[in-house]
A and B are shown apart, each in its own frame.
Chain A
Amino acid sequence: MRVIKIDKKDWESGVGKLSGDYSLYGPVKQGAFHNFAPLEKGQMPDLDYVNTRMSPKSVVYPQCETMFEYTLDENQPDHHVNKEIPKDYSPRAILGIRPCDVKAIDLVNINFDNPEYQDPWWVQRRAALTTVALACNNPCSTCFCTSAGTGPFDDSSADVLLADMGDYYLAKVMTEKGEALVGKAGFDQDGSAEAGAIDDAAKAAEAKITSKIETDKLGDKVTTELYDADFWEDVAFACINCGTCTYLCPTCWCFDIQDEVQGTDGCRMRNWDTCMSALFTKHGTGHNPRPNKTARVRQRFMHKLKYYVDKYENGIACVGCGRCVQQCPVNIDIRRVCDLMNRFEPGKECA
């Protein structure tokens, strides 16, 4: 790791130099909120934002992705053969992603790239990705990253971490990918003398985070007892099973595979799925093991806060970005549910 200094007056020209080598993505204003989107040549990421409405996971893991195509025309020699669609794995960089969202990409990686399974599209797209994270000087009241295993200045997942110092950025270059990017941008002013200022800013930002969750007892809970806890009906009552939480979540990774055929041309695609949908678990027989919304809501929270915790011993499957808290149309708040789960003791009423 080394620290460099980037004067803001040099930022635009530096970013401009990257566009030949990388497809660039960054936060852009879309109506009333920001989202991550491809940056056109010459377009700058709008770094004056707090949190994007959608998470940036779609840069590595698109909502809809065609995997294979095929023909059903039996006059063709290769009919009924799935042929992989060529994809773009050229270098791409996300500029201005938040540290929690980069952390989320690492977290999702456990699902798509592990000794048992390697998802070829995720693996190659992630390998092509360089992340230039922007530390949060002013987190939201709904941010609880510091108690979800990350933080406003977390540098553990990003290739470069930018800290906004007013007229300039101090950048921690964390990886070889990060070195390559700052090299191409021409950012090479030594900032090591000011490295301490990043730690000071980090402490100041962390102190602003007042929203916290407690997760220390989740691992010790008996799964079946937590599953049968008395609070699920109360927690799930307001839920409309819309799936907003899962679509906005940077760590939700579930997908559904669909075939679409027109005439004799077919393709096989995968789309983000949501455990809030009844179809998510509906069997071919018509049986549905999660037949009602309480079962589905319980699944979402148990997966993030218990099953994942037990399976990977890597903390919770949540980075505390607060999107689901802010956008849930009926105010179901994962912080409250986590608290209920962490405090749960069988036989004691806690709802």
Chain B
Amino acid sequence: MSEYAEKIRGIAKKLLDDGTVDMVIGFRKGTMPLINEPCFVKDAAKVDALIWDSSCGVNLANYLPKRKEKIGVVAKGCDSRNIVTHIVENQITREQLYIIGVPCTGMVDRRKVRLAVGKEILSVSEADGKITVTGDGYEEVLDKQEMLQDNCAICVHRNPVISDEVIADPVEEQTDVDRYADVKAVEAMAPEARWNHFEQLLDGCIRCYACRNACPLCYCPTCFVDESQPQWVGKSVDKTDTRTFHFLRAYHCAGRCTDCGACERACPVGIPVRQFTKKLEKDCKELFDWEAGMSLDVRPPLDTYRPEDPDEFIK
């Protein structure tokens, strides 16, 4: 992974030196194991702050909408798909961006690692698909593949779909994954069980909106839950209001969600928020053969009409 960081620093330095970009957005080393902090570098002399490892999960596309600068941005597969979405949705222009593509082998879920070792983690290193975790009086070696975020474990677009420069050879895409096993399990439930399933998911929600704010798609100037004239949704942890927020947010992501996992990673109380968006993602795949963020040249299915669009649901 350190060669990735070296490569990113080299490109960042070149871009800043020759004025191709005003800033490079990437990651700097976190203050704790298993999480790094998104940052920007504007000074070529400071590119050594940029790093890369399997704790760079935050989707950097989230930092692009409405920016005016010329930006170099480090992009994994999912980040690149959200960048495509941003360009298609006019949140930033292609000309503003220099996309530094990073072939990705998945990001580690820090909470999964914490649960697996059951103890406080003081340092982490990774090599050859293994993660070595150390703490007070212990060292444990884990398989990275088993510690991936749930969305990374089933990701089939690990290589950037758009870039100006890629820092390494493409990684092999996963082909033997069932992307929708969890959705199928919910689809198979009787209505009452399904209702209970979603009720349980939402049980601990504290309405902090971390899922919304972490999501690159949620860039509305004023979110519907923040509207006050009129106010559409109550602000307490009332069950109906909480459901309304989650369900409407999910629908707003239909045909746009890349399953990057930002929502789930951000939730402070561990709600598997992707359960709300994945069914819609699956429907878009099945009904429109659509995966979000794969091309700059095709309009998303929900903002265009084609005569051959499926209409079996119209009775």
A residues at B contact (CB < 8 Å): 30-33, 50, 53-54, 63-64, 140-142, 234, 237-238, 240-244, 247-248, 256, 258, 260, 269, 271, 274, 277-279, 282, 325-327, 329-333, 335-336
Q: Check A336/B31 contact, CB under 8 A, given A64-B237, A238-B39, A331-B36.
A: yes
**Which residue of the partner chain B has the closest CB to A322?**
B32
- Give chain A residues whose Cβ lies under 8 Å from the Cβ of B40: 234, 237
> Count of B residues near A, CB < 8 Å?
36
Q: Does B268 contact A (CB under 8 A)?
A: yes
Having A244-B210, A244-B266, one finds 4 other A-B pairs with CB under 8 Å, namely: A238-B63, A274-B208, A329-B58, A330-B38
> Within B32-50, which residues are at the interface with A (CB < 8 Å)?
32, 35-40
Rounded to whole Å, the gap between the CB of A314 and the closest CB of chain B is 27
Q: 5 A-B pairs, CB-CB below 8 angstroms? A: A31-B204, A242-B213, A243-B209, A247-B206, A278-B226
- Give chain A residues whose Cβ lies under 8 Å from the Cβ of B32: 141-142, 325-326, 331, 333
Rounded to whole Å, the gap between the CB of B215 and the closest CB of chain A is 9
- Give chain A residues whose Cβ lies under 8 Å from the Cβ of B38: 237-238, 330
Interface majority SS on A: helix, strand, loop or mixed?
Answer: loop
Q: Are B115 and A63 in contact (CB under 8 A)?
A: no
Q: Are B270 and A31 in contact (CB under 8 A)?
A: yes
Which of B30, B36, B228, B268 contacts A247 (CB under 8 A)? B268
B residues at A contact (CB < 8 Å): 30-32, 35-40, 58, 62-63, 111, 115, 120, 122, 204, 206, 208-210, 212-214, 226, 228, 234-238, 265-266, 268-270
Q: Are A241 and B30 in contact (CB under 8 A)?
A: no
Q: Check A329/B265 contact, CB under 8 A, given A33-B270, A258-B236.
A: yes
**Which residue of the partner chain B has the closest CB to A336?**
B31
Q: Are A243 and B208 in contact (CB under 8 A)?
A: yes
**Which residue of the partner chain A has the closest CB to B57?**
A329
Rounded to whole Å, the gap between the CB of A63 and the closest CB of chain B is 6
Q: Check A50/B120 contact, CB under 8 A, given A240-B210, A244-B210.
A: yes
- Give chain A residues whose Cβ lies under 8 Å from the Cβ of B268: 53, 244, 247-248, 327, 329
- Give chain B residues whose Cβ lies under 8 Å from the Cβ of A241: 213
- Give chain A residues whose Cβ lies under 8 Å from the Cβ of B31: 325, 331, 333, 335-336
- Give chain B residues whose Cβ lies under 8 Å from the Cβ of A54: 206, 269
Q: Are A329 and B235 in contact (CB under 8 A)?
A: no
Which of A64, A279, A332, A336 contacts B226 (CB under 8 A)? A279
Q: Are A63 and B206 in contact (CB under 8 A)?
A: yes
Q: Considering the chains assembled together, what is the distance between the CA atoms of A348 and B213 in angstroms? A: 33
Rounded to whole Å, the gap between the CB of B122 and the closest CB of chain A is 6
- Give chain A residues whose Cβ lies under 8 Å from the Cβ of B214: 240, 242, 329
Q: Are A32 and B35 in contact (CB under 8 A)?
A: no
Q: Considering the chains assembled together, what is the distance between the CA atoms of A330 and B213 in angstroms? A: 11
